[in-house]
Amino acid sequence: MPKLALYSELASYYDRIYWWKDYAQEVDFLLKVLHRYGVRGKHILEVACGTGNHTKLLAATGYRVTGVDVSDDMLAIARRKVGGRATFVRGEMKNLGRVVEGTYDAAICLFSAISYNLTMSDLKRTLQGLFDHTRKGGVTVFDTHFTKKGFIDGHRGEDIFDDGETMGARLSFSRRRGKIGEITFSYLIKDGPKVIMLRNDVHRLGLFDLQDFRKAMREVGFDRIGMYVDWKFARDRKQNEPRDNVFVGRKPS
Ligand SMILES: C[S@@+](CC[C@H](N)C(=O)[O-])C[C@H]1O[C@@H](n2cnc3c(N)ncnc32)[C@H](O)[C@@H]1O
């Protein structure tokens, strides 16, 4: 995968760019999922853990988390944030077997990170790794905002942040290229006396149907599969544009 600015030279701004994201609500839902699927153990494998926001909340609730991410810059922030309450290792999600051993009560891969798998065969490789490292009766949970149907060609977006010290803006432009969704980010950040201008941070995302995910999950071996919207068990019928599709797969006992 090419180096993405958001996860390398701009990694220290990641949390500020996503200041609006409700990690606590997601972890709360995740814990309810674990309860609902009968997962009692406390070991979690977190793939594409990023700067460790879910990790920190899970560790505070008593979970022992191993975080994996391909970016050293993101991992450095996660280590600083979570300290010794979790273990972090650098690794590629398609080759989990090379960096982690054994099985966990749950394996998670959150904030659309799964969509960095561009082809069905890469997606299945990642899902296979998640499955292999989930213990029997445990669950894998992942989410994505990006689907074949939901991806809007030509979509423009902006994220603005200002924490009193640093202010910044990120513009995004989305383009559909066949089965791939391409989002190009441009950033303008004023950090004290330093001004950063960065263009053409291109993120390529695999676009799959919800049914493709479900089929791939079945094929790698999950038996009970749940699909939820926006970190809730019940769908809000008034909201016709889901932000997030959350998938849960149980590994047979
Ligand atoms: C949108 S961020 C999500 C981070 C974190 N899960 C969160 O919720 O804030 C995507 C993360 O996936 C990581 N990533 C992207 N491709 C990856 C890959 N092939 N293997 C492992 N990590 C990957 C990036 O380095 C980045 O930290």
Q: Are 136 and 251 in contact (CB under 8 A)?
A: yes
- Judged against a pLDDT cut of 70, whether residue 1 lies above it is answered with no
- Judged against a pLDDT cut of 80, whether residue 26 lies above it is answered with yes
Verify whether ligand 1 is closer than 6 Å to residue 7 (CB atom).
yes
Verify whether ligand 1 is closer than 6 Å to residue 187 (CB atom).
no
The reported pLDDT for the residue numbered 104 is 98
pLDDT one-digit tens code per residue, 88-137:
999 999 999 999 999 999 999 999 999 999 999 999 999 999 999 999 99
Residues 34, 139: Cα–Cα separation, whole Å = 8
Question: For the domain 156-205, what is the CATH superfamily, name and number?
Answer: CAC2371-like domains (2.20.130.10)
Domain with CATH 2.20.130.10 in the chain: 156-205
Verify whether ligand 1 is closer than 6 Å to residue 70 (CB atom).
yes
Verify whether ligand 1 is closer than 6 Å to residue 113 (CB atom).
yes
CATH number assigned to the domain covering 5-148+207-250: 3.40.50.150
Nearest CA to ligand 1 atom 8: 111
Rounded mean pLDDT, 72-81:
98
Residues 172, 45: Cα–Cα separation, whole Å = 31
Domain with CATH 3.40.50.150 in the chain: 5-148+207-250
The reported pLDDT for the residue numbered 243 is 82
pLDDT one-digit tens code per residue, 166-192:
999 999 999 999 999 999 999 999 999
Q: Distance from the CA of 18 to the center of ligand 1, in angstroms?
A: 14
Tokens found for residue 114 = 């799964």
Question: In the block, which residue shows the tokens 């690794």?
Answer: 91
Residue of 89, 111, 143, 205 with the most ligand 1 atoms within 8 Å of its CB, for mutation: 111
Verify whether ligand 1 is closer than 6 Å to residue 185 (CB atom).
no
Nearest CA to ligand 1 atom 25: 71
Q: Are 151 and 203 in contact (CB under 8 A)?
A: no
Residue 231's nearest CA partner among 219, 248, 215, 218 is: 248
The reported pLDDT for the residue numbered 240 is 65
Model confidence band, residue 238 (pLDDT cutoffs 50, 70, 90): low
Residues 230, 22: Cα–Cα separation, whole Å = 11
The reported pLDDT for the residue numbered 131 is 98
